[in-house]
Amino acid sequence: MLSSSREGFVWVENTFELQQRWDNEPIIDDIKAVCQATLQLDDPAQCAVSFLTSGGFNKIYVVEVESDQKFVMRVSLLVETRHKTAGEVATLKWLSQHSTRPVPRVIAFDDTRDSKIGFEWILMEHVASTSARTRWRKMTMEDKKALVEDLARHHAQLLDTSSFQTIGTLKETNSDFIPDTLVSMMFFWGDHFGFDVHRGPFRSSHSWLYSLISIMIKAKVLEMDKAVREGDEDVADEVTYSLRIAKELSLLLPEMFPPDEDAHGKKVLWHDDLSLSNIMVDGNNSPNSIID
pLDDT digits 0-9 by tens, 53-91: 888 789 999 999 987 889 999 999 988 888 999 999 999
**Residue 99's CATH number:** 3.30.200.20
Residue 209: give the domain boundaries.
180-256
Closest CA to 186 of 214, 225, 162: 214
- d(CA 214, CA 252) in angstroms, rounded, equals 13
pLDDT exceeds 60 at position 5: no
Q: Mean pLDDT over all residues of the chain? A: 90
Is residue 161 in a domain? Answer: no
Residue 232, domain member (yes or no) = yes
Do residues 122 and 1 both lie within one domain? yes
Give the span between the Cα atoms of 190 and 239, in whole angstroms. 17
Does 79 lie in the same domain as 3? yes
Specify whether 120 is located in the same domain as 3. yes
> What is the tens place of the pLDDT at every residue in 229-248?
999 999 899 999 999 999 99
Radius of gyration over every alpha carbon of the chain, rounded to an integer in angstroms:
22
96 lies in some domain = yes
How much is the average pLDDT of 114-119?
93
pLDDT at 6: 64
Which pairing describes strands 169-172 and 177-180: parallel, antiparallel, or unpaired?
Answer: antiparallel
Whether residue 2 is found in the same domain as residue 121: yes
Q: Are 191 and 100 found together in one domain?
A: no
pLDDT, tens digit, 9 for 90 and up, residues 193-215: 999 999 999 999 999 999 999 99
**Claim to verify: residue 27 and residue 98 sit in the same structural domain:** yes
- Is residue 135, in this structure, part of any structural domain at all? no
Asked, for residue 1, whether it belongs to a domain, the answer is: yes
Query: Is pLDDT above 50 for 109?
Result: yes
**In this predicted model, what pLDDT tens digit does every residue of 280-292 receive, in sequence order?**
888 888 888 887 7
Q: Tell me whether residue 81 is in a domain.
A: yes
Taking CA atoms, 215 is separated from 99, 122, 155, 211, 243, in Å, by 34, 30, 30, 6, 11
- Domain total in the chain: 2
- The reply to whether the predicted model has a pTM over 0.85 is yes
**Among 126, 143, 170, where does a domain finish?**
126
Whether 85 and 193 share a structural domain:
no
Mean pLDDT across the stretch 28-47? Answer: 93
Give mean pLDDT, residues 146-174: 92
Contact 76, 117 (CB under 8 A): no
User: Is 148 part of a structural domain of the chain?
Assistant: no
Same domain, residue pair 73 and 185:
no
Q: CA-CA distance, 115 to 238, in Å (whole number)?
A: 45
58 assigned to some structural domain: yes
